Amino acid sequence: MKHEQRKLLPIGIGIFVLYLCIRYWDPLIGILLHLLGAAVPLILGCALAYVLNILMSLYEKIYFPKSKKNAALKTRRPICLTLAFLTLLAIIAVVSGLILPQLISCVMLLVDEIPGVINDTIAWMDERDLLTAETLNQLKSIDWASILEGMSSWLTSGLGSMIDIVVSTVTAVVSGVITVFLAVIFAIYLLSSKEKLARQGDRIMRRYLKPKLIDRIEYVLDILNDCFRRYIVGQCTEAVILGVLCLIGMLILGLPYATMISAFVAFSALIPFAGAYIGAGVGAFMILTVSPLQSLIFLIFIIILQQLEGNLIYPRVVGSSLELPPMWVLAAITVGGGMFGIVGMLLGVPFTAALYRILKADVKKGEAQKKLAEEAVQTEPETKE
């Protein structure tokens, strides 16, 4: 009787907790969202630490890896961690320096050219009698330049009082700086004592979980880590190769904004499948402000380059390492992007690759066990004879 009560107690507690979750769903979601917002610096710190750990591990393999001297052992982690931070900051600075100045100048060029484009369009429609005389006179009487200036002034000062804008801007900047600062500090703590944290986590699991469950958790975590690591390294390598090839091709063809567009194409290539179209669209639009013919040449060039990248570079650098069929890559990007936006598109592929690998191994294991059982059944009559 007591044994049955012990079995029913967890079931009863689970039903009661489920009832509370359903009954107080809205307050519960509010509390969870509040906790998630408070934990944003820690989540960013974990993500930053994971990326930096790849660079740090690379530097640790170079920085006196076989030396057993105290000086090398004590300085290996701080120096390699510092080099990893500096490398990441250098990458961000180079990409920002290449993209932002030319992007601002392109936007300013677009603003200056819009009135002329509108007037040319009106003249083209007038030549072909596509508009009535009254509509044509109304369109010609509009001062498009003053309208654009009015929109700019409205965006800068018409959204609210200047004091409110300054206060909200300063608050957002300070909050962002604090979040980034806490994330960096948390990442440093994680990387400085990652071995100790791993041992502590292992001790906690062995205290409260069964050994079989621990083995399964460690198996899943190892596969997730391997998929994410392969994905990050492969995507970054593929993005660099694509950016360099795009830069070389644009310089040979004499296309404008070669450096900026190549950097943007490389950056957008971190998003599988969709990133290539984003980079091509933005690049073609920017070149269109200079020359429609050159924009068409760029589109033809980028299509050829994407075919080369999709058929040769990506399968060798990323696809083969993840062992994920293209259909599931596309499904992961679509579902992940629809649920979580850009973050979902980035994380959907390695998660799907890990799930695919786990299911594939489990199916093979089940088939092998079934085959062994069938062979055992077939050999039983022979042994009896």
Looking at residue 111, its pLDDT comes to 64
Same domain, 180 and 222: no
Q: How many domains does the chain have?
A: 2
Give the Cα-Cα-Cα angle 106, 151, 172 (nearest 5 degrees).
Answer: 80
The answer to whether the CB of 52 falls within 8 A of the CB of 85 is yes
The answer to whether the CB of 353 falls within 8 A of the CB of 325 is no
Q: Cα separation of 274 and 341, whole Å? A: 12
Same domain, 230 and 202: no
Residue 377 within a domain: no
> In this predicted model, what pLDDT tens digit does every residue of 191-225 receive, in sequence order?
988 889 989 998 998 888 888 889 999 999 999 99
Same domain, 216 and 202: no
Query: Last residue of a domain, which of 208, 234, 262?
Result: 208
Max CA distance (Å), the chain: 106
Structure tokens of 199?
């041992």
Residue 33 within a domain: no
Is the full-model pTM beyond 0.75?
no
216 membership: H or E segment, kind and range? helix 211-253
Residue 30 within a domain: no
Same domain, 150 and 240: no
274: buried, middle or exposed (CB in 10 Å: 19+, 13-18, 0-12)? middle
Radius of gyration in angstroms for the set of CA atoms belonging to the chain, rounded to a whole number:
29
**Domain containing 287: what range?**
211-371
143: buried, middle or exposed (CB in 10 Å: 19+, 13-18, 0-12)? exposed
Residue 156 within a domain: yes
Closest by CA position to 184, among listed 93, 82, 61, 80: 82
Same domain, 155 and 228: no
Same domain, 76 and 177: yes
Residue 74 within a domain: yes
Same domain, 185 and 230: no
Same domain, 252 and 116: no
Same domain, 104 and 218: no
Query: Last residue of a domain, which of 161, 186, 208?
Result: 208
Residue 167 within a domain: yes
Looking at residue 122, its pLDDT comes to 65
The answer to whether the CB of 324 falls within 8 A of the CB of 231 is no
Residues 6+ apart with CB under 8 A from 251: 258
Which 8-state DSSP code applies to residue 142? -
Same domain, 45 and 180: yes
Same domain, 137 and 263: no
Same domain, 260 and 363: yes
> In this predicted model, what pLDDT tens digit does every residue of 269-315 receive, in sequence order?
877 666 777 788 888 877 877 788 888 899 999 888 888 876 777 66
Residue 31 within a domain: no
User: What residue ranges of the chain have pLDDT lower than 70?
Assistant: 1-7, 99, 102-103, 105-171, 272-274, 310, 314-321, 380-385
Query: Last residue of a domain, which of 208, 236, 267?
Result: 208
Residue 16 within a domain: no
Closest by CA position to 274, among listed 251, 232, 306, 316: 306
Q: Which amino acid is at 58?
A: L
